């Protein structure tokens, strides 16, 4: 079985869009949550956004443990 996690499913916004926006406007995950709503519902995407901001990844074929918005934000 393969998985492809590439978006905040609650907001239907791709990580490619969100990470490009964050890098362009120097936003952290909390900023993204406030502007785009991602991470403010089930919170499942937070760990992926945080990892994507660090590495540039916009799609994941592996699972990450759930993180909260109050976890340490990655430097942008
Ligand atoms: S998947 Fe992003 S808040 Fe639910």
pTM for this prediction: 0.91
Dist. CA 66 → ligand 1 center (Å):
11
CATH class of residue range 7-55 = mainly alpha
The minimum-distance atom of ligand 1 relative to the CA of 10 is 4
Phi then psi for 52, rounded to 5 degrees?
-65, -35
Measured in Å, residue 7 CA sits from the centre of ligand 1 at: 8
For range 26-46, the mean pLDDT: 97
* Model confidence at 75: pLDDT above 50: no
Question: Biggest alpha carbon distance in the chain?
Answer: 36
Q: Is the CB of 29 under 6 A from ligand 1?
A: no
Q: Is any atom of ligand 1 closer than 6 Å to the C-beta of 42?
A: yes
Q: Which two tokens stand for residue 52?
A: 């994507």
Domain boundaries, the chain: 7-55
**Percentage of the chain exceeding pLDDT 90:** 89
Question: Is the pLDDT higher at 8 or at 74?
Answer: 8
Give CA angle at 21 (56, 8), nearest 5°: 75
User: b vs e for 45-55, b when ≥16 Cβ sit within 10 Å of the residue's Cβ?
Assistant: bbbbbbbbbee
């Amino acid at each position: 079985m393969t998985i492809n996690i590439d978006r905040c499913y609650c907001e239907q916004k791709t990580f490619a869009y969100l990470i490009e926006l964050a890098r362009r406007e120097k936003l952290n995950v909390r900023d993204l949550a406030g502007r785009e709503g991602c991470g403010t519902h089930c919170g499942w995407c937070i760990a992926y956004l945080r990892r994507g901001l660090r590495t540039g990844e916009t799609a994941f074929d592996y699972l990450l443990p759930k993180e909260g918005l109050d976890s340490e934000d990655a430097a942008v």
